[in-house]
Amino acid sequence: MAAQKGKDLLLKIHDGTAYASVAGLRSRQIAFNTEPVDVTHAESAGRWRELLAGAGVKRAAVAGSGVFKDAASDALIRQSFFDGTIRQAQIVVPDFGAIEGPFQITALEIAAEHDREVTFDIALESAGEITFAAL
């Protein structure tokens, strides 16, 4: 994958009708993890750890920070957080693909300085199966 513009990585959340871009995110990050299942036993070669392929719990985490672009995106994020709603989300990575699935907002932080705009930090965790479609 060649170098890409960071602004092209998009986080979208389904608002019940369509996917809406989440505010004006200035920075964003997505991480995929899996918990390994250790099946090491007394006869493992050289006492090296052995893992069971395909058996761990998978998860995706998304984080971002920025400014709310309008009242609608502000309300969607705020209400989803306070209701604990699990919503479909889509993360578009240019020249890589789109990751899509159910996510829950697990953290929402609001900050401001007296001479600057109000900013926010958001964190989402996967809440079910994630799909990937190449672009």
Residue 1 lies in a domain: no
Q: What is the pLDDT of residue 91?
A: 87
The whole-number pLDDT of residue 108 equals 94
- Residue 120 is assigned to a structural domain of this protein: yes
HSE at residue 58, side-chain half, CA atoms within 13 A, is: 10
What value does the mean pLDDT of the chain take?
87
Burial letters for 27-45: b for 16+ Cβ neighbours within 10 Å, e otherwise? ebeeeeeeeeeeeeeeeee
Domain presence at residue 11: yes
Range of the domain at 87: 6-133
Number of domains in the chain: 1
Round to whole Å and give the CA distance between 66 and 23: 7
Q: Tell me how far apart the alpha carbons of residues 110 and 66 are, in angstroms, rounded to a whole number.
A: 10
Q: Does residue 89 lie in a domain region?
A: yes
Residue 107 lies in a domain: yes
Instruction: Assign residue 111 the CATH number of its domain.
Output: 2.30.110.20
- Kindly state the tokens that stand for 114: 């007296």
Reference 101, options 117, 90, 86; nearest CA is: 90
Per-residue model confidence as pLDDT tens digits over 95-127: 888 899 999 999 999 998 888 888 889 999 999
Query: Has residue 14 been placed in a domain?
Result: yes
Residue 49 falls inside a structural domain? yes
24-47 pLDDT, tens digit each: 677 888 899 999 999 999 999 998
Question: What is the structure's pLDDT at 4?
Answer: 57
